[in-house]
A and B are shown apart, each in its own frame.
Chain A
Amino acid sequence: MMSSRHRGNALSPAGLSSRWVGLLVLVGVFASTPAPADAAYAAIELATLTEGSSRVVRGVNDGGEAVGGAHIGHGLRGFLLSGGALLRIDGPPGSDYSVALGINSQGEIVGSANTGTRVLAFRSVRTGASAPLAPLPGDTSSQAFAVNDQGTAAGYSSGPGEVRAVVWSRSAVVQSLSRLPGSDSSRGLAINNRRDVAGVADTPTGRRAVLWRGGAVQDLGALAGHAVSEALAINDLGEIVGSSGDDARRQAVLWGQRGAIQDLGTLPGGHSSRALGINNRSEVVGTSETGAGSQAFLWTQRSGIQDLNDLVTARSGFVLTHAVAISPRGIILAIGRDDDAAHADHGHDHHEFPLRVFLLVPQP
């Protein structure tokens, strides 16, 4: 569900009830508290996703367009936040589930939606119309998580045999990616403009971050002492970010162009972190667990890991918990919540709360 706050002239297509869907646009509207001396970003609130169901906030491009999914009316529905408006992306007629997971610089969107008795990847554009991205022959379902500027999408195909990482060309031709030896399950989660795909492969010893490049698959490894890892984003330089470690403790990591793994650390007082996005400036965003709960971070080679809450101009009344993506130009898509709900020592005080979606725009 989304809150009813929205700009009236920017509503999504017919059938979208203003009761359920809202968009709070804060462009040019900032709180009156003075900006910190090192402020670097202006926060623009895009929407508030009300509690009680799955909520997804994922891709962002240089146009400040973001995608995700939230409960709208009768189940999870994909959405595009663009130009102060929300566009609902429903998937095929009759679908009871859709989610938008990736967007490129042209506003091409990929995601997945239920079609009858299976979930199928789709490609969409700003009109809200969508076309399915079929699974591999013999398979029944698919999901697409990312799309590059050439329109190539990455995701997986699933069927009786296995879950297999795939890519779809702009013309929707599906192609499987190489299988990591010993793995019977893999997913492409990110793709760059060189058509490198980053993702995960499940092995007998656990999940591993992998890179598909030029038809080959590479196990990216994990930090010393860790058995599992995940690759969640990749830039055009071939740098990959994700995490190393399991549920008990994760560390945000960066795999350099030559594959070397680097521990990005945690925010002060933190014990776990996860890198979720990287752009071509090698700016990394993610989330770090701290004593005050989850905090969104920005990592750069020069400054290391920083709390994005400290870098936002005139932040008032909210806390940024996750920076989920960063565009080539450095626009950050972040989620947060009301400040008074954020000071939990365990991270889930009043755990159902409205999710606030922000664009963090670099200041000159």
Chain B
Amino acid sequence: MRHRQSVLLISAGLVVALLCTVTPSAAQPDAVGQWTVITPLPYFPVHTHMLPTGQVLIWPGDGGVSGNDPRSWDPATQSVTAVSKPGYDTFCSGHAFLADGSLFVAGGHIQNGVGLSRASTYNPFSNTWSPLPDMNAGRWYPTTTTLADGDVLVVSGEVDQTTGVNTLPQVFQVGTGTWRSLTNAQLGMDLYPHMLLAPNGKLFNPGPSATTRELDTTGSGAWSFVATRVGGYRGYGSAVMYAPGKVLVMGGGDPPTSSAEVIDLNQASPAWRAVSSMQFARRQINAVLLPDGKVLVTGGTSGPGFNDATAPVFAAELWDPGTETWSLMASASVPRLYHSAALLLPDGRVLSTGGNGYAATEIYSPPYLFKGPRPVITETPASTAYGQSFFVQTPDAASVRRVTILRLSSVTHAFNQNQRINELSFSSITGGLSVTAPGSGTAAPPGHYMLFILDGNDVPSVARIIQLGGTAPPPPPPPPAPTITALSPSSAAAGGPSFTLTVTGTNFVSGSVVRWKGEGRPTTFVSTTQLTAAIAAADIASPGTAQVTVANPDGAVSGALPFTITSPPPPSSFTLTVSKKGPGSVASSPSGITCGSDCSQTYGAGTSVILTPTPNKNARFAGWSGACSGTGTCSVTMNAAKSVSATFAAK
């Protein structure tokens, strides 16, 4: 009977889907994005997390199954793998990531409305669960938030149906593995309250209650009033910190509202301010921070009551923090109501899962994925410290306009307990970007983030996951680029022989290569300031200029110095060759030739040489040929190699 009812509800939902699906006028993917149905999951998850390993961790709970069944979903292959189990029912727990990438899980399910006092961590790198000390009492529907120092605050959660909400906030102190109870901060809170780490280090509670406060977690804790929201109670609405200290809440309530509000906690007297409403009223929603700083809202129901399955909202809406307005995006095909989740993947897409009864899974590709080529990150450090500059290697440095980091998601019950965004300052350097990490844990709690680079059209790269503020040693600074200050020799005559070129400069390393006209030549590392390279004769065969550079193994390339290949010098001497026929001899002045026996001589260029023929007895000089003619003396100027023939004949 229950199953039949569910089927009827789902069918009704699909019918309403057709009615509620709105196609924006400019329904191109580059304007509204695109939804894609992918392989269903083995169950409808209730808790969904983006792990630092790049996998997505899910576990179920509703529908008669235990939460003690986590699985790992691979975004690349859509394959699902069983992972180790916590050993108890983590359904209806709270969760956030620790600095080391472990998922911290507090509370859970004994029965409906009765919470576990247990807590655990899941290490995704070792696939192991580790129990922690129990909390003060049970917590069913608690919220966990990672603090600036890496500890975790846990608030709310139902103890049981005779005690009600656990009013005692507690901080799990990672360093000691113990709980610190905030006995000075007892407060009755909503279940799964929205909690966000503010720039002042306090925990801001923007909802669902309209009375918004902040919690100082130091010592035994203390609450202070911030402001009253203008949009009323927002049960199963959502909240995001879309920029440090700036909070957006939207939807929720009963009947659901389409309204949205913002507050800037950076102001001296923060106050809530209504902004444009969504097109659809909705509750049971998910709000996802995107790498370009916009906020995507998906799913929900427009119907009254707890979870009206007859009025699902399929259209996504996108909030622009610059204009504080919403734009209608493409419509999904699966209702996403109670127990649904949506989170940002490292590739910039959004995973949309669950809702009771829906194992069907979808991916939303935001408009920025249809606006041209994406910048590429080829390398980042695995971790970085607060305030540290680190190198992001990219061939697209020239086109990068923004760098953002988004904390990994951990979602359940219409609220992401771990997401936040920071925009980082950067500068372009050789081979990539020098990016400056957030300055402190209040700006960005320690842990793992997706790092995106974005071009001028806000097209994001695929993210690299980096650890911020961890205990790992800071990565080495990017190596400095080589420079060249001198070449020796700096020129050679065309047609000359091969030679060794000595390059003087800075920042040479073993493996540096001297490039001749952009092409590497056999190079010997002498020192950080000197290289030698073998330059072949063919490299100087023709006159001209060869640009010489040095490339280091990390890809950094020096500026160029020119090597000049000169024209060959004119000869400084020429050879005068005399050939003689017949009886006689030839002598030269200047001396050098006495032909018969010595018939050639080299003379300096420009030398005027006189050859005098002397016939033997009974012979006569018959004449010159070659460079001279006639029968007198022969005068030649040595401006080239010359040959002269002297002929003698018998009388």
Contact = CB atoms under 8 A, between A and B. Distances in A.
Nearest to B107: A247
B188 A247 contact: no
A346 interface: yes
If over half of B's interface residues share one DSSP class (helix, strand or loop), that class is named, otherwise mixed; here it is loop
A69 B189 CA distance: 13
Contacts of A345: 64
Contact of A118 (B92, B209, B223): B223
A105 B375 CA distance: 73
Given A52-B236, A54-B191, A113-B188, A355 B161 contact: yes
Contact of B190 (A50, A75, A94, A247): A75
Interface string B330-355: 00000000100000000000000000
A119 interface: yes
Interface residues of A, number: 69
Interface in B83-139: 88, 91-92, 109-113, 116-118, 134, 136, 138
Nearest to B61: A348
B162 A276 contact: yes
A185 interface: yes
Interface in B165-199: 165, 167-168, 181, 183-191
Contacts of A263: none
Contacts of A1: 254, 306
Contacts of A324: 161-162
Interface residues of B, number: 61
Given A96-B210, A163-B181, A348-B111, A51 B306 contact: yes
Max count, chain A CB within 10 A of own CB: residue among B91, B185, B213: B185
Contacts of A58: 162
B223 A117 contact: yes
B188 A112 contact: yes
Contacts of A51: 306-307
Interface in A215-251: 232, 246-248
B164 interface: yes
B269 interface: no
B224 interface: yes
Interface stretch (A24-32, A154-162, A253-261): A154-162
Interface string B1-34: 1100000000000000000000000000000000
Nearest to B163: A56
A149 interface: no
A74 B187 contact: no
Nearest to A53: B191
A98 B209 CA distance: 13
B235 interface: yes
A76 interface: yes
B305 interface: yes
Contact of A74 (B165, B184, B210): B210
A101 B2 CA distance: 34
Nearest to B236: A52
Contacts of B208: 75
Interface string A280-309: 000000000100011000000000000000
B223 A76 contact: no
Contacts, number: 178
B66 interface: yes
Contacts of B158: 54
Contact of B209 (A96, A293, A350, A353): A96
Contact of A247 (B138, B161, B191, B232): B138
Contacts of B1: 340
Contact of A143 (B117, B162, B186): B186
Contacts of B185: 118, 140-141
A61 to B, nearest CB: 16
B149 interface: no
A160 B233 CA distance: 30
B404 to A, nearest CB: 34
Contacts of A340: 1-2
B165 A54 contact: yes
Interface in B32-71: 61-66
A348 B188 contact: no
Max count, chain B CB within 10 A of own CB: residue among A56, A94, A143: A56
B183 A349 contact: no
Given A119-B186, A159-B220, A352-B307, A335 B161 contact: yes
B118 A346 contact: no
B85 to A, nearest CB: 14
Given A117-B213, A293-B111, A348-B62, A141 B186 contact: yes
Contacts of A94: 211
A356 interface: no
A92 interface: no
A350 B188 contact: no
B235 A351 contact: no
A350 B62 contact: yes
A202 B136 contact: yes
Given A74-B232, A247-B116, A50 B184 contact: no
B111 A347 contact: yes
B499 interface: no
A350 B356 CA distance: 8
Nearest to A354: B306
A348 B118 contact: no
A97 B63 contact: no
B373 interface: no
A208 interface: no
A210 to B, nearest CB: 15
A52 B188 contact: no
B65 A346 contact: yes
A113 to B, nearest CB: 7
Contacts of B118: 247
A327 to B, nearest CB: 15
A57 interface: yes
A358 B507 CA distance: 83
Contacts of B181: 163, 185
12 contacts: A1-B254, A55-B113, A55-B161, A117-B222, A140-B222, A141-B185, A160-B183, A162-B183, A185-B181, A348-B61, A352-B306, A355-B113
Interface of A: 1, 20, 50-58, 69, 71, 73-76, 94, 96-99, 101, 112-114, 116-119, 140-141, 143, 145, 158-163, 185, 202, 206, 232, 246-248, 276, 289, 293-294, 321-322, 324-325, 335, 340-341, 344-353, 355
Given A74-B210, A97-B187, A344-B64, 5 more contacts: A113-B188, A143-B167, A158-B168, A335-B161, A349-B2
Interface of B: 1-2, 61-66, 88, 91-92, 109-113, 116-118, 134, 136, 138, 158, 161-165, 167-168, 181, 183-191, 208-211, 213, 219-220, 222-225, 232-233, 235-236, 254, 305-307, 338, 356
